[in-house]
Every structure is written in C-alpha cells, then in structure tokens.
Structure 1
Amino acid sequence: MNISKEIVENVSGIDIVEYIIENDNGIAIGIINFGATITKIITPDRYGNLENMVVGFDNKSKYLKNFLHFGSVIGRVAGRVYKGKLTIDDVAYNLDLNLNDTHIHGGENGFHSRVWDTEEIYEEDKVGVKLRYISLDGEEGFPGTVETKVVYSLNNENELEFEVEATTDKTTVVNITNHSYFNLSGNFKENILNHYLKINADRFLPIYKNGDISGKINTVENTVFDFRKGKLIGEDIDKKLEQLTFADGYDHPLLFDDKIGKIELWESNSGRHMEITTNNEAVIFYSGNCFMKKTPFSKKDKNRRIALCLETQNLPIGENEVFKENSILRKNEVYKRTTKYKFSVI
C-alpha cells in the first residue's frame, strides 16, 4: 500500500495538494485538501480494466468553483435547512441562503470550499489521509466554533472508510457527508439507469416542489421508493408521480430500518459492485437528474443521470425546524460518523 502526493494548484499562496492512496490490488483513491474532496476512485472491472467510478475534474483548478460539490465533504450541515432559519438555545440564527430562499450544503462557503490541514496515515493494515478544519463561530451564520476531523483510509480488503469526528465550544448543528457522484460502468460509458440499487430503508421523506421537506415520514411499502429487495434505478424513475415529478427523479431522504445502514450498488456490464455500510440514520439518494452545463462532461445530453449520489447523513432540517434535534451538537459532546465503501466485482 502506498501514498503519493502532488501540488496541483496554488490559491493565494496556499498549496492545493492531491494525495493518491493505493492498495495492493490496484485500487486508487484521489483526495485533495480543498474541500477534503475525493477526486477519483479507480477500481478494476471484471476483466481487470482500471477505470474511474466517481465524477471529478481533470483540471484541478475547477474544484475551486465546485458548485455541484463533486466529491467534497459537506458541512456544517448537509442537505437543506428550511428558509435558512434555526433557533438554538432560544437564539435565532439566519444562515446563508445559497439556493433561492433555502440554505443548502453548508452555504456558499461551506466545508467544500475550505482548505483543510492534512496528515498522511500509514498503518499496518491501511493507508490514508487525515484532514482537519476549524469552522469559526458565525461562519455561514452558524453558532459555535467547530473542529472537524475527517479520515479517508484504504485497506487491502478493498474498503474505503470515511470517518468524521466533530466537537464544538457552543451548542450548534452538525451533519456531515461526502458528496461523491458514482457511476460503476467505468469512465462514464453508460448512465446510471441500469445500475441495480438496494437499500435497507423502510421509510422515506416526501419533498415539496422546491426540494424542501415538510417533516412527513412515509413508508416505502408499495411505492417507487422501496429499494429493500433491490431493483434497477430506471425501473420506476420516469413514472408520472408527484414526488418523482418534483425532483425529476429521485432526490429524497430514506431512513434506514436498522442501526447500521446498508446499501448495495451494482452495474452488470462492468461487474463492479459497491457495498456501503454506515452508522448514519439516513441516506439522500440523488439520481443525477440535472447537472446543468458546467460539468466534466462535454455533451449536454450525457449530463442527465450520468452519475448518482448516496449521501449518508442525518435527516435534513425541514419546515418548523423538524429533525433539527437529530443534528444538535453540544459542548463536550463528540459527533462521530463512519461510512465504509467496499469495492468488488461479481
């Protein structure tokens, strides 16, 4: 196993460094200290061809304006905060509104747009990178100074582990995820409609037309949101149903039915298989319904559903601050979340 690194950009005198962590099986993960971002995941298909399975930019300077958050760590709060309004310990806070009248993904200058301190990790059974960022009181409107540590590590069992730990000096909200866009076909040869997806989630949260949540929790039983037995993503995605119409596909929180969330993603042509396990309570499944124009892809017709997100996290904060308590972090408490990605071929 090995770690290599290269300076890929310089911002106001600060080096942007890309680390490549590799195991003995040919799997390689790219990580930059800007946004604690995964830039690539190289894995073999069933024929041994090594290809990338996450969206990233060849020109690393483009990460400096990564408004779709390709591969980045999202914080302080992943997902939406309804109207950007929070009340914590009887004090009202107005967060940065960076999507119409909503706060999303930590604000315009959230964790994804910050330079993180880094440290290489060499252990007997894994290699990795530890990243650290201190978010000051008032940043993007949030209370409290929050110290966040992220560790990406890779072992010879082909497991990429994403560990997050955060502490605060004042009661605040914390809900952190990685925002990688996956496509297991390899180098984006196909869209994701023929990917097979399985999620042990028995409930989902319906959304409003603008993508915010109301606070309702519905069963997945007899709905297009039931992935418990697994199915092709394209099986139901274009059905003329209100919830799918609102998002032009899937862009919904799903609640795991166990303490350990389990997700499987498989693409039959390449044989690539990814198993995700997490101690987060939910996953946001986004089916890449619209990438707009400024993407790594040159043809507009290829952008639609060319990759998908599986954002393991707490529930978003909806209308009337519903689910806020799920993300409250107090002084002397430690926020800890782990998500593991295991890569294989079948």
Structure 2
Amino acid sequence: MRGRNIGPAVLTAALATVAQPAVAADAVRAPFGKLADGTAIEKVTLTNDNGMSVTTMALGASVQSLSVPDRDGKRADVVLGYDTPAEYLADPQYFGATVGRFANRIDRGRFPLDGKQYQLEINDGPNSLHGGKQGFDKRVWEVASVESGPTASVTYRYVSADGEGGYPGTVTATATYSLGRDNALHVTYRATTDAPTIVNMSNHSYWNLAGATSDTGSMDDLLTIDASAFTPVSGTLIPTGEIRPVAGTPFDFRKPTRIGARVRDGSSEQLRYGHGYDHNFVIDGDAGTMRRMARVEDSGSGRVMEVWSAAPGLQFYSGNFLDGTTLGKGQHIYREGDALVFEPQLFPDAPNHPDFPSARLDPGETYTNSMIFKFSVADD
C-alpha cells in the first residue's frame, strides 16, 4: 500500500494539534440573583476534568460552593453557604468570604500608625472584626478577568476608599481563584495603597468534608496542624502577646487528632474563652515560604483537605457560634461544630503587637497572601 503524501501545511496543523493540550478547566460566568436593592450579583464556576468544581461570586469575592469526589467518586458540595446572595447579607456568617481590610480582630478597633491613633468600626463586642460592619465580605467586587485553559481562573477587584471602616489610605484589592487538574483551589490576595495603612486578607470558607447538607458534622474529623505554638487570647479573643507552646495542651494537633476529643475540655481557659477553637496557630517553618499548615480528613467520605500558605499564622475556628438559627443551602440547619474554618493570615491584632509580623502596607509595595486548598481521598 502506497503511503499518502502529507504536505507541509497539513503536517504543521497535525503537529500543532498534538502539541496543544486539551482544555483542562473551564470558567463560566452566570447570574446569581440580586440583592434586596436590586444589585445583580455574578457568579463564576471553575470546573476541571477530575470531578472538581468551585463556584465563586462577586459579593464578598466569596466561595459559594465547592464540589469534590469522595472515595467512591461521589461528588458533594463541602462548603457552607446560602442559595441566594441576599441571604449572605441578611444573616452574615462570613460564609466563603474574602475578609478584610484586616481579617480577624483588632482590640477595641484601635491601632497606631505613624504617631496617629486610628479608630475602626466596632462590630464584635468591644472589638473590630474582619474589617468592621461593612468589610470586604459585604462589598460587591468587580469581575476583573475570567480565563479557561490548563488552569481556569477568576479575578475579582475592589477599591476600598480612604477612611472606609476607619482605615487610612485608598486600597485596591484583588482576589484570584484558580483551578487546574490537580484538584487544588489556589487563592491569591493582593493589595496596594496610596498611603500607609494596614492590610490582612484571608478566606473564610466553612468546610464540612462530609458535605454541606450532611447530617454529619466535623467533630469526628482527624486534624493535623503543623504548629508548635499558638497565641493565647483574653476573654474578648484578643491575643495577649504570648507565644505559647502547644505541647501538653488541647491545642497540640501535631499528630492527627479527632477534633471533638478535646473541644469540650472545660479545664482549658482558652477553650472556654473561644467556646471551642478560635485561635491563631504559629505555623512551623519560615513565613514567606509556601508550606503545609493543616490537614483534615473525614473518615466517612474519605475526603482529605490540606491547607498550604506562606503566611505566618493560621486561624482555626471550629464553628462554635453556629447555633442552629442559620438556615443554609437547601434550608439545612447549621449547628455548632458542623464545619471548620482555616484562615492563613497575619496574627490577630498585629498592629498593636510590635513583636508580631507586621501588617503595615506602604505606597509602592504589594501585599500578597497566597493559599492552596488541596483535595484528595485517604488510602483505605
């Protein structure tokens, strides 16, 4: 049989087809309802070819859902949230949100900067929490870019005006979510400013690896936190300034430990203050270097999530204030211990503790906080 002569143009096209990888992940924009005032909210869904998808929305640059397979290949949404954008504002729990300008608490909402004392909005007892009454989580962000390809991504953008919430300087912030073939959600926060200010952004997703509408909570999950120390707090959950070793305390998660085994240990003043775990862990290794912070495993589904970041600290919150009054997706009631929050970030109240990693941001600098949420299944 005589061979067919392939001309140069045909050969080039054939080689190009072979060389170009198939699109591994798609990004799709769509409407996601409206707020009470009529403001339309967009959502962007990232989907890969390994059974994982994540939907984010412009309100709060938030993770609205994230579906991954279990050990049997069955997919489930593993983040808590609501079915409509209006519910996120009507019953705020920071579900999936980008929190800032300053994630976590600032003592009495006050901090010094260049000889001036600033007063922030108070919204958590005597303190300021997650940027105040109208933090980044309650703002509608611009959808700045959406891309499909080997990695799918969406970038949201928000400009925070000078004086917003009491913070100095106009800050331009971005939140980028990306998903490739590796079933890992990459989240990168960046910010610039036109005047000296403070910035500390993080993600506040609530994770239930059994499924967001599961009847199973998270207290039986096995948790590892790669931290030899944590920052104890006062009765209003403000760090005392001490860096305390976790050894011999209920905060020692250096080996896989069932979360519920010690969460009700009333002999721990710290657990009494937080109604459970709501504390910053000082992650081992060099801050500024991407490293594993935590690993959580749900034995029922076999799902595993690892948290990676270059941030110095990880706030671990065990869902202590979900009191059964919150109706989430599918009218599912969320109760105490139903989900876990892992926030890579600077230490709480950092502007009032010179020995803590600095939250200061000056003009000409770029604040960056990158984190990865890696999903897999445990070996049987």
Q: TM-score normalized by structure 2?
A: 0.87
Identity over aligned pairs, percent: 33
Give the conservation status (yes or no) of the 8 Å contact 1:22–1:154: yes
The code of the aligned residue for 1:53 comes to: V
Report Cα offsets for 1:124-160 as digits up to 9, x if no partner: 4200110001101100000001111110000011111
| Residue from 33, 41, 53 that aligns with 1:9 | 33
Matched with 1:254 is 281
| Residue from 333, 338, 357 that aligns with 1:306 | 338
- Alpha-carbon deviation of 1:322? 5.0
- Alpha-carbon deviation of 1:76? 0.3
2:45 is the alignment partner of 1:20: yes
Give the conservation status (yes or no) of the 8 Å contact 1:53–1:188: no
| Residue from 184, 187, 192 that aligns with 2:218 | 192
Q: Matched residues in 1 for 2:350 and 2:149: separation?
A: 44
Q: Which runs of 5+ in 1 are unaligned?
A: none
Give the conservation status (yes or no) of the 8 Å contact 1:34–1:113: yes
State the structure with more CA Rg: 2
Moved more, 12-21 or 332-341: 12-21
Report Cα offsets for 1:22-66 as digits up to 9, x if no partner: 101121101010100101111111111111111011233212335
Counting only pairs closer than 5 Å after superposition, residues 11-90 of structure 1 correspond to structure 2 as 11=35, 12=37, 14-90=39-115
| Residue from 328, 341, 349 that aligns with 1:296 | 328
| Residue from 262, 269, 272 that aligns with 2:300 | 269
The code of the aligned residue for 1:178 comes to: N
The alpha-carbon distance between structure 1 residues 280 and 68, as it changes in their structure 2 partners (threshold 3 A), is same
Give the conservation status (yes or no) of the 8 Å contact 2:152–2:178: yes
Q: SS at 2:273's partner residue?
A: helix
Give the conservation status (yes or no) of the 8 Å contact 1:81–1:317: yes
Q: Matched residues in 2 for 1:117 and 1:104: separation?
A: 23
Q: SS at 2:358's partner residue?
A: helix
Q: Matched residues in 2 for 1:139 and 1:212: separation?
A: 23
Moved more, 321-330 or 192-201: 321-330
Q: Matched residues in 2 for 1:30 and 1:73: separation?
A: 14
Report Cα offsets for 1:80-101 as digits up to 9, x if no partner: 0001001111111100001121
Matched with 2:174 is 149
Q: Matched residues in 1 for 2:191 and 2:269: separation?
A: 38
Q: SS at 1:243's partner residue?
A: helix
Q: Matched residues in 2 for 1:345 and 1:157: separation?
A: 13
Give the conservation status (yes or no) of the 8 Å contact 2:112–2:351: no
Q: SS at 1:62's partner residue?
A: helix
The alpha-carbon distance between structure 1 residues 277 and 45, as it changes in their structure 2 partners (threshold 3 A), is same
Report Cα offsets for 1:229-267 as digits up to 9, x if no partner: 221111211112211111121111000011234211110
2:375 is the alignment partner of 1:343: yes
Report Cα offsets for 1:192-229 as digits up to 9, x if no partner: 11111111111101111221221111011111111112
- Alpha-carbon deviation of 1:291? 1.2
Q: Matched residues in 2 for 1:6 and 1:257: separation?
A: 41
Moved more, 172-181 or 231-240: 231-240
Matched with 1:164 is 189
Matched with 2:363 is 331
| Residue from 313, 318, 322 that aligns with 1:282 | 313
2:116 is the alignment partner of 1:91: yes
Give the conservation status (yes or no) of the 8 Å contact 2:315–2:342: yes
Alignment size in residue pairs? 345
The alpha-carbon distance between structure 1 residues 13 and 190, as it changes in their structure 2 partners (threshold 3 A), is closer
RMSD of Structure 2 on Structure 1 (CA): 1.8
The code of the aligned residue for 1:19 comes to: V
Q: SS at 1:294's partner residue?
A: strand
Q: TM-score normalized by structure 1?
A: 0.95
Q: Matched residues in 2 for 1:61 and 1:147: separation?
A: 25
The code of the aligned residue for 1:55 comes to: L
